[in-house]
Amino acid sequence: MFSVLSYGRLVARAVLGGLSQTDPRAGGGGGAGGGGDYGLVTAGCGFGKDFRKGLLKKGVCYGDDACFVARHRSADVLGVADGVGGWRDYGVDPSQFSGTLMRTCERLVKEGRFIPSNPVGILTTSYCELLQNKIPLLGSSTACIVVLDRTSHRLHTANLGDSGFLVVRGGEVVHRSDEQQHYFNTPFQLSIAPPEAEGVVLSDSPDAADSTSFDVQLGDIILTATDGLFDNMPDYMILQELKKLKNSNFESIQQTARSIAEQAHELAYDPNYMSPFAQFACDNGLNVRGGKPDDITVLLSIVAEYTD
């Protein structure tokens, strides 16, 4: 049905919702201006849209979606990618491109071949490695990379397409990614096409990714997901689920990530639900109602004090 991932040995001492630090063990690192290193406590959950048919893929991959969570001494890094399903019509498995892209990003982080303040660089290097394969790995994918710099307490992000992230503080969205669309239901995407199709297949440069950098605080909630979540759950529904997150231990994060993914999956198959995707379609002159059946990947993180 779903799978869960986690990463990092972290001490989560922040109190959610912006309340003051009350843990006597916290020492001098508590509060928004603490001097200690930060890390992310992360849990993930997802569904492939073919789940009801009993089709599950191995690894951290939900249908054509893929994701990773990696730790380096300088930063915590995570990412999601959504393989473009249209390649299936040409005999290409879309999950191979998104999965390989994310696995390459993960390896680069673990090898220390990245700069925390430059998540676009992670995406660029990974994409270039795919381009250099002797046997071309055909496909397309959106991608979103999120990097927490431990020492500076800054979050650096790169988003290409319609996957994305939210940062929630005190029950409100304080930062979010901007969706990138060429036109309705056609997001920006990295692509590798056969020679005869180059110039015909839509392909964007990693440099086209929207990049942001901002400070985070202990207890901030970061939700990173593919469009299968955002097309089916508006912000207010996501925030309602996040209110159930009463503390920052892994079990609570895992349960909330699962709850969000499950609700999005149920709404995706409700023909009478006016989903965000259906509303967007109506805004573009299409008479559409219901959820949008799609692969769903959710990574839910909390900013916490870091211990190696």
Q: How many domains would you assign to the chain? A: 1
Q: What pLDDT score was predicted for residue 195?
A: 85
Using only C-alpha atoms, what is the Rg of the chain? 19
pLDDT, one tens digit per residue, over 270-298 is 999 999 999 999 999 999 999 999 999 99
| pLDDT exceeds cutoff 60 at 210 | yes
User: What is the structure's pLDDT at 34?
Assistant: 55
Distance CA 161, CA 177 (A): 10
Does the residue 282 lie in any domain?
no
User: Is residue 11 a part of any domain in this protein?
Assistant: no
Instruction: Give per-residue pLDDT as tens, 86-109.
Output: 999 999 999 999 999 999 999 999
Buried b (16+ CB within 10 A) or exposed e, 7-41: bbebbbbbbbeeeebeeeebeebbeeebebbbbbb
**What is the structure's pLDDT at 248?**
85
Domain range for 68: 37-269+295-305
* pLDDT score, position 13: 39
What number of residues does the chain have?
308
- The answer to whether residue 27 is domain-embedded is no
Query: DSSP 3-state assignment of 24?
Result: helix
Report pLDDT digits (tens) over 54-85.
344 444 789 999 999 999 999 999 999 999 99
Q: Please count the other Cβ atoms lying within 10 Å of the Cβ belonging to residue 199.
A: 8
Sign of the torsion angle spanned by Cα atoms 272, 279, 185, 189: negative
Mean pLDDT, residues 197-203: 85
| Confidence band, pLDDT 50/70/90 cuts, at residue 200 | confident
If pLDDT is split at 50, 70 and 90, which confidence band does 2 have? very low
Residue 226, domain CATH = 3.60.40.10
